[in-house]
Amino acid sequence: MQFQQLQYFVAVAETRHFTRAAEVVHVAQPSLSQQIRSLERELGADLFLRARGNITLTDAGEALLPLARRILADADTARQEVHELAQLKSGRVRLGATPSLCTGLLPDVLRTFHDRYPGIRLMIEEGGSHDLVRELARGALDLALVVLPLPAPAPALTTVELLREDLVVVSSPDAPRPGRGRSVRISDLEGERLVMFRHGYDLRELTVAACRAEGFEPDFAVEGGEMDAVLGFVRAGLGVAVVPHMVATRVGADLRVTPLARPGLHRTIALAHRSDVAPPRAARELQRMLLER
């Protein structure tokens, strides 16, 4: 049974005339008649009673008609839904990002994307780069914003560098200013109580490695938090923290922001997706907006 045969059958059933039905479906009348006869042979039953000037449905035709209409309607619905998805009117994007990027980079970009494509659902998953790479590999995410270098080789992923971001030191305005002037050296953090992120957090590994490169172990006042918790503990005066510049610019006047002295600390943010599967149309559009930001 072919889709086209059902179209021809419904046209004849509705017009009760082979010639008019052929005009409706834009096909020659002999071709339409041939396809109807082929459908009847396949089903093993006549669908029409053919009398001169009088075409009526048989019992088999009456039984097939509502089913054929439903199949054709479902096909139209499928075509429309695929068209809307292609035109970015519906669908979803599954985006992974580190919590600091959810706080600093994404709000403005996602607002622009949502304003342009309000029918696209945005599904955000926060996590460290290691977790996000794993979720990408198993197909649970379309795109992910990760910190380079990746925690482990990932040959199945394609990464495109997005930005290189400075890290800064944040502290409570009521606490003494860290360092000796307008900037802080990594060595100045020796003796400072640090508010530290949980294990697996990219910023934790970067900060601890920088301190050890200067010959000391960092002293943690509090550890184990996510970005919002770390900023809250710093506001409370429990210690200082090293955070991305984009995050620091959003926290307002209730935190003191001090840059790190040259060469400072930086991190490289990349946009990653699976190499073997092209991201969906909506995800590719979000990818374009992120790269052009």
SS3 244: strand
- Residue 28: both structure tokens together: 């020659």
DSSP lists the bridge partners of residue 272 as 144, 159
Rounded to two decimals, the pTM is: 0.70
pLDDT along the chain (293 residues), means of 10: 92 94 95 95 94 87 94 89 81 91 88 94 91 89 91 78 93 86 90 90 90 95 89 94 89 84 92 89 93 89
- Residue 159: both structure tokens together: 């990464």
Which amino acid type is present at position 164? R
pLDDT of the residue at 293? 84
pLDDT in tens, 101-154: 888 889 999 999 999 999 999 999 998 888 899 899 888 999 999 988 886 666
* Euclidean distance between CA atoms 131 and 125, whole angstroms: 10
* Euclidean distance between CA atoms 13 and 32, whole angstroms: 13
pLDDT in tens, 141-152: 999 999 888 866
* Euclidean distance between CA atoms 91 and 281, whole angstroms: 9
pLDDT of the residue at 138? 85
pLDDT of the residue at 4? 93
Closest by CA position to 286, among listed 159, 109, 133 = 109
